[in-house]
Structure 1
Amino acid sequence: MYGYYRVAAAVNTTTVANPAKNAEEILALVKESETKEVSVVVFPELTLTGYTASDLFLNQTLLTAQNDALENILNHTEKINTIIVLGIALLEADRLYNCAVILQRGKILGVVPKSYLPNKKEFYEKRQFVTGRDIVRTTTELLGKEVPFGVDLLFSDGADMTFGVEICEDLWAVTPPSNHMASNGANLLLNLSASNELIGKHEYREELVRTQSARCMAAYVYTSSGVGESTTDTVYGGHAIISEYGTTLVQNQRFRMDSHLITADVDLEKLRWLRINESSYSDGRRKKTRTVKIENLPKISEIQREITPAPFVPSVYTDKQQRCDEIVHIQAYGLIKRMQHTNIQKAVIGISGGLDSTLALLSTWRAFEIMGWDSRNIIAVTMPGFGTTSRTKKNAVTLCKALGTTLKEVDITDISLKEFEAIGHDKDEHSVTYENVQARARTSILMNMANKEGGLVIGTGDLSEIALGWSTYNGDHMSMYALNSGIPKTLIKYVIEYFKSNEKIASVIDDILATPISPELLPHNHDKITQETEEIVGPYELHDFFLYHFIKYGAKPRKIQYLALLAFGDKYDKVTVTKWLKLFLKRFFTQQFKRSCMPDGPKVGTISLSPRADWKMPSDAEMNVWLKELEA
């Protein structure tokens, strides 16, 4: 399933010091996990005995009962492919270790000891257990079998999953063992815990798990002991959390009286390739580890995870004002630095009444507002041509007047006709030449006007257009500072909406957002737009989706196609998605030459196509391998 695995965090009803009864609850959750196609299910710390057994761990009877219960679990899971991770106390070399035991199909794959033992306030583990942090490259005997034992163990299916295990306090340590596991290839981290409840502790715990998943560029499954633990001095709420690369996918409701589990589908293939794209991960120090091979993991029949159709747009839970403020400030301060460095006081912008020029104007206006500069030094130029409609022109003029900019109009019709005549082009032949002559005329006017006024030409083209090469080479492709170059079309709409809080421009912004996207280069039909960009190159929401997954982690075309169908549901069928994905790939490869010489512009999100920043690609690379993969 394109690198997706289903993982589970289980919280079993615990009866302290009764391993046989605990085993019944464990087996019920294991069977539920198998039914739900879970690859790995993780249980709380010291699952079979209960974490709060305290000095009973020093009693032979309890350990014997624990091992009997463990053997019973093995006997009942011989035909279950799901990996089971339980907490046990292990007697080895006359020392007692707090461990995780990893099981599959009735066999013990390995045992991992806890490295950091809390010994303060309500926790005194060193009274019963010893640390296992120095145990490497060794084995132990458990239930009559010799099995791998140590903190150097990783477990891999030989495909996209490699997991490592740490236990409770290990995560709270200055250098968690999971750091080293991740540096050695573990992209799934598991934690068996017994973390008691204190006021506000659950929030810190979730933040710790989430941030560790980000730091390790991994998925992290955490589960903690529930309310069945002893309440002599502390209370346990059974907190379960699954996070992936800085985002918490799911967490449970604490203080439940029943045995339960939570599941999430994690994209381990994506995590592997994200790491390849991050030099900080590659620089991580590797240690000697042992890898245990796991086989026959359950396969997901259908991904049960929301795939956002707008990966560049913040989620509904994000504070929109704060996020948009940040985006606009990145743009504004990038422009401020450029203008101060060049000792230029004026900005020159071509205004069409479309989305891109609107955002460029608004962000430039914000830069001037921040610095207390006169907005009349923003020279907004409308350049109507053969396809300009009264609607877009009116919106452009209304916006410029409301912001107090200097507004100029230069009609490019006569200029374009003279250019057609000069190169011998028939004005009635509406070819690419017909369109590009107008685009270059506009750019030439802006450049010359900037020279005359002592200004800086602000580029308006966005990241989506740059990806598709939807610009005229040395026309709108060029500027003196490409302000929108780090923002895709779907995000531009989102940011423009944020400016509606300014009542003076709210109504005109509404109409700009409702206007079809068009370069307006072909003659209009009775003042109606005849050239809609998305009918020619496809929906920008699809192209932004393709761009994100293609660049962010190098996803294969078939995976992009599959995820798009999940994300957009019934809005686009497979034929439609495939059609526009093919066009995206073709244009992305053939239009690289434009990106190779694009002007400076600020990176805003995690993706940039600047050849000086994120994206270095030969202009003559073949696309056939990608097209064949999609068609396979």
Structure 2
Amino acid sequence: MPMIRIVLAQINSTVGDLAGNCRKIIAGINQARKKGAEVIVFPELALCGYPPEDLLRKKHFLQENQRFLKSICKASKGVTVIVGFPFLEGDWLYNAAAVIQDGKVSDIYRKIALPNYGVFDEKRYFTPGSSLPVYKLGGYSFSLTICEDIWHEEFIELLKGQKLDFVINISASPFHAKKIALRDKILSFAARRLKSFVLFSNLVGGQDELVFDGSSRVISPQGNLIRTAKRFSEDQLIFDLDPNKYYSAVKPSFQDDWEVFAALKLGLADYVAKNGFKKVILGLSGGIDSSVVAGLAVIALGKENVTCLIMPSRFTSTATFSDAKKICQNLGVNYRIVEIDKILDTYSQGLARSFRGKKADITEENLQARIRGNILMAFSNKFGYLVLNTGNKSEVSCGYCTLYGDMVGGFGILKDLPKLAVYKLAQQINKAFGKKVIPDSVIKRAPSAELKPNQKDTDSLPDYKLLDPILKLYIEDDLSLNEIIKKGYKASVVKRVISMVDSSEYKRRQATIGIKITPRAFGRDRRMPVTNKFSQ
């Protein structure tokens, strides 16, 4: 059989931008055609973007998808194009892939395995397909699958007897830490079982909480990675399928900390651009969280598009105030200093009569956080900035945050990043700049909200080296109180952590959206009732 050139075209689709996505697909076809492509493969739901959610309930939206598919067909003369789109057939809606040959739709494959866990809600919208056609092209036999189809062993067994030369899997597979390595295991297993090449074409880009890493790849019948596309950027991966050629294995590169950094960078850049913002603002305290957010924002958006507000009070230490200014100068961002003591005094005087006889407590601490939140939102309203939230997963897990205070913001970069991982991210940011834009003094200083004298996070929380592993076991692994205690943790500490997590659900319901990094993020992944009497 002659060699066949296949191009896996990973594109950054925007949900609902049918015209823009269509233009990207047509541009990708033209680009691949110039490279000699005979087959061009686009990702799952590339035409409408993923996940389209309840847009799929709008009939006009579905009809528009069909209309733009015709434009793609016109641009597909002389090549075979495979592209994902939502296909309405009578009363049934399918997550589908159009097989376009020489400008005409020759077949429509309907996804069979519909995921309905974690961030996926496909059974809410789609009907599962039922057939597994085998396609012929230039003497080759191949099968087409969509994302979840290839993740199930029973599905692989259905394909096993088909004597396939290759299997195409189009995907919108979102990133989380260690996901790329996990995917390779799945794809390798499928290739070995089917004794055929597996070609994986994945979406890339940020969509609200989700980031798609691209990382399209080709796996040999022996289960080896032999071709790989770029991670976290658009790319076209060329694969020349030749039955007489030996394909040497490519050593996979798994860089966990860098992948998290790259996912956050892409997720922020796309959220800002796709939602029409040009500039962002954040409160910079001089602590590790806000310093990391500032650094990442500059990398993702450019220093000219980032403004930092330093909002000191009488409780702000000289060291953190100095570090906050130094970080702004290191990053080259515009910054302003807005002191909050006079505003706090005005609040205190206005509330003095109502609070007579009451001792100062967390109320006065939260007032400071809410004053800062109000100031940030005032700048947002006045200048059109997007406010970046700077809270991390450890804090929001335990409710160590103030509603309408430090929880304000339109997007949370660190929302799904545990505190210990924030320190690793700081190192990645310094590495990206080639210098210590985040000083050692920030990285080594004990974390503090600085809302009262000599305050430390450990006054309210266990040490993060103890807290983060317990949170992972409870939130991500769903272990019970007793199961966590059996792992060697002190019962009183585990009870306290679980109590904080459970009692803070109402706060998380009101938190800003943020980028998914762990396998189990708050929001789409973990859905708990606010009113809940179940005891661990």
TM-score normalized by structure 2?
Answer: 0.52
**Matched position secondary structure for 2:440:** helix
- CA offset at residue 363 of structure 1? 1.2
Partner of 2:457: 533
Pick closer, same or farther for the CA change 1:448–1:578 going to 2, 3 Å.
same
Match of 2:337 among 404, 409, 418: 409
Partner amino acid for 1:533? D
Residues 533-572 of structure 1: pairs in structure 2 closer than 5 A: 533-563=457-487, 565=488
For structure 1, the residue ranges without an aligned partner over 5 or more in a row are 1-174, 184-206, 217-317, 370-374, 524-529, 566-573, 627-632
Which position in structure 1 is the counterpart of 2:387? 457
User: Structure 1 339/500 Cα, relative in aligned 2: closer, same or farther at 3 Å?
Assistant: closer
Task: State the one-letter code of the partner of 1:179.
Answer: E
Moved more, 497-506 or 348-357: 497-506
Asked if the contact 2:474/2:498 (under 8 Å) is kept, the reply is no
2:503 matches 1:590: yes
1:211 aligns with 2:124: no
1:558 and 1:413, CA in 2 relative to 1: closer, same or farther beyond 3 A? Answer: same
- Cα contact 2:278–2:305 (8 A) shared by 1: yes
Q: Is the 8 A contact 2:327 2:437 kept in 1?
A: no
CA-to-aligned-CA distance 1:80-125 (integer Å, 9 cap, x gap): xxxxxxxxxxxxxxxxxxxxxxxxxxxxxxxxxxxxxxxxxxxxxx
Q: Residue 483 in 1 paired to residue 457 in 2?
A: no
Which among 266, 270, 278 is matched to residue 345 of structure 1?
278
Q: Give 1:1-150 correspondences, 5 Å limit.
A: none
Match of 1:361 among 294, 303, 311: 294
Secondary structure of the 1:521 match is coil
Q: Write the letter of the residue equivalent to 2:153.
A: N
Are residues 414 and 505 of structure 1, via their aligned partners in 2, closer, same or farther at CA, if it must alter by over 3 Å?
farther
Matches for 1:95-244 after TM superposition, within 5 Å:
179-180=153-154, 211=185
Distance in 2 of aligned mates of 1:385 and 1:437: 12
CA distance in 2, matches of 1:418, 1:408: 22
Residue identity matched to 2:476: K
Q: Distance in 2 between matches of 1:429 and 1:214?
A: 64
Contact 2:344 2:371 in 1 (8 A): yes
1:343 shift after superposition: 2.3
Q: CA deviation at 1:503?
A: 6.8
Q: 1:606 — aligned with what?
A: 519
**Structure 2: how far apart are the matches of 1:551 and 1:499?**
27
Check 1:622–1:501 CA distance in 2 against 1; reply closer, same or farther (3 A cut). same
Change (3 A) 1:181 1:600: closer
What is residue 253 of structure 1 aligned with on the other side? none
State the match for 2:364 in structure 1. Answer: 434
Which residue of 419, 439, 444 maps to 2:347?
419
Match of 1:618 in 2: 529
Deviation string for 1:402-450 (max 9, x for gaps)? 1110010111111111111222247994311110000000000000011
Partner of 2:314: 386
Contact 1:332 1:367 in 2 (8 A): yes
3-state SS of paired residue (1:506): coil
Output the CA distance in 2 between the equivalents of 1:368 and 1:507. 16
The letter of the residue matching 1:621 is N
1:399/1:505 contact within 8 Å kept: no
**Structure 1 counterpart of 2:473, which letter?**
H
TM-aligned CA distance change 1:180 to 1:339, over 3 Å: closer
Higher Cα Rg, which structure: 1
Structure 2 CA distance for partners of 1:494 and 1:426, relative to 1, 3 Å:
farther
Deviation at 1:366, TM superposition (A): 1.1
- What residue in structure 1 maps to residue 146 of structure 2? none
Query: Aligned to 2:439, what secondary structure does the other structure show?
Result: helix
CA distance in 1, matches of 2:156, 2:434: 52
| Paired residues of 1:589 and 1:623 also in contact (CA < 8 A) | no
- Secondary structure of the structure 1 residue equivalent to 2:458: helix
SS at match of 2:486: helix
Q: CA deviation at 1:214?
A: 9.9
Matched, 1:506 2:399: no
Which residue does the alignment assign to 1:580? 493
Deviation at 1:341, TM superposition (A): 3.0
**Alpha carbon RMSD of aligned pairs, Å?**
3.3
Distance in 1 between residues matched to 2:386 and 2:465, nearest whole Å: 31
Q: Is the 8 A contact 1:352 1:393 kept in 2?
A: yes
Shift of 1:507: 7.2
Which deviates further from its counterpart, 323-332 or 496-505?
496-505
Q: Secondary structure at the match of 1:418?
A: helix
Q: CA deviation at 1:605?
A: 2.2
Residues 351 and 212 of structure 1, relative CA distance in 2, 3 Å threshold: closer
| Paired residue total | 302
Q: Structure 1's 427 and 456: CA in aligned 2 closer, same or farther, altered over 3 A?
A: farther
Code of the residue aligned with 2:287 in structure 1: it is G
| Pairwise CA distance, 1:596 | 1.2
Give the C-alpha shift of residue 466 in structure 1: 1.0
* Distance 1:215-1:438 versus aligned 2 partners, 3 A rule: farther
Structure 2 residue identity aligned to 1:439: A
> 1:585 is aligned with what amino acid?
I
Opposite residue 473 of structure 1, the aligned amino acid is L
Amino acid paired to 2:411? Y
Amino acid at match of 2:527: K
